[in-house]
Amino acid sequence: MSDRIVIEAEAREITGKQVAQLRREGWIPGVIYGRQTTQSVQMEQKALRRALRAVGTTHLTDVTVNGRTHTVLVREIQQHATRGDIVHVDFLEVDMKVKLRTEAELVSVGQAVPEAEGLGVATLMLREVEIECLPDNLVSEIDVDLSTIRTPDDVIHVKDLVLPRGVEILTDPDQVVARFEYAASEEEEMAGEEGAGADAVEVITKGKKDEEEF
């Protein structure tokens, strides 16, 4: 039995300018597409907002329409430009036997050894990767273990990531994910401040000279 969140929907016949009245009555229009047909639907506003907060755009959810269940991904949420209200939702119906391509966020865990020693900080250079997997194996995040950076010269590449079962990364395997960066020394910081001050003085002086010429 599926433990996915269920969104209750009704088939929608209203289109065009009449959709505005639908929203005023507390309903949000949407569409389900991706397989044999495209179906227009409408969902109760409060229930939809609760469901979307839970599933986001990277988790499978079930949308029921007139007793039929559609397993979907939320593909697009349109919001009002100023109020932020949801005005329309697009759902992609998935085939559980066909692989999907989507994005997964990279999340740093652990601490680099040089960072623990106070030498600087480990920085993520890449925020997300493209993945491919069956719908049941879909993930929204992939961990980047910074503790594998044991020396200042160590670099984590895409090919070094530990992937969940059934997930394949399509992003360039040699792309840099994370690296260590030394903290600026006190002398370097002071030199930078002095250089900025000298540049400022030079610009001010030049401006005065130009004014005198005129």
Which residue from 137, 45, 55, 66 is spatially nearest to 99, judged by alpha carbons?
A: 137
Q: Pick the more confident residue, 199 or 88.
A: 88
pLDDT tens digits, 167-209: 999 999 999 999 999 987 655 555 555 555 555 544 444 444 4
* Cα 85 to the center of its chain, rounded Å: 20
Once rounded to an integer, what is the mean pLDDT over residues 62-70? 93
Question: Where are the CATH 2.40.240.10 domain residues in the chain?
Answer: 6-93
Contacts 24+ apart (CB under 8 A), 68-72: 69/6, 70/32, 70/39, 71/4, 71/96, 71/135, 72/32, 72/34
Which of 22-31, 34-43, 138-147, 156-165 has the weakest average pLDDT? 34-43
Classify the C-alpha dihedral 189-190-191-192 as positive or negative: positive
pLDDT given for residue 36 in this prediction: 75
Q: Where in the sequence of the chain do the CATH 2.170.120.20 domains occur?
A: 100-184
pLDDT of residue 209: 45
Q: What is the pLDDT of residues 117-171, one digit of tens each?
A: 999 999 999 999 999 999 999 999 999 999 999 999 999 999 999 999 999 999 9
**Whole-angstrom Cα distance, residue 7 to residue 3?**
13
Fold entry, domain 100-184: RNA Polymerase Alpha Subunit; Chain A, domain 2 (2.170.120)
Overall average pLDDT of the 79-84 stretch: 89
Q: Check pLDDT > 50 for residue 210.
A: no
| Helix ranges (DSSP H) in 109-185 | 113-116
Give the whole-angstrom CA distance, residue 106 versus residue 139. 11
pLDDT of residue 208: 45
Q: Which CATH class is domain 6-93?
A: mainly beta
The whole-number pLDDT of residue 100 equals 92
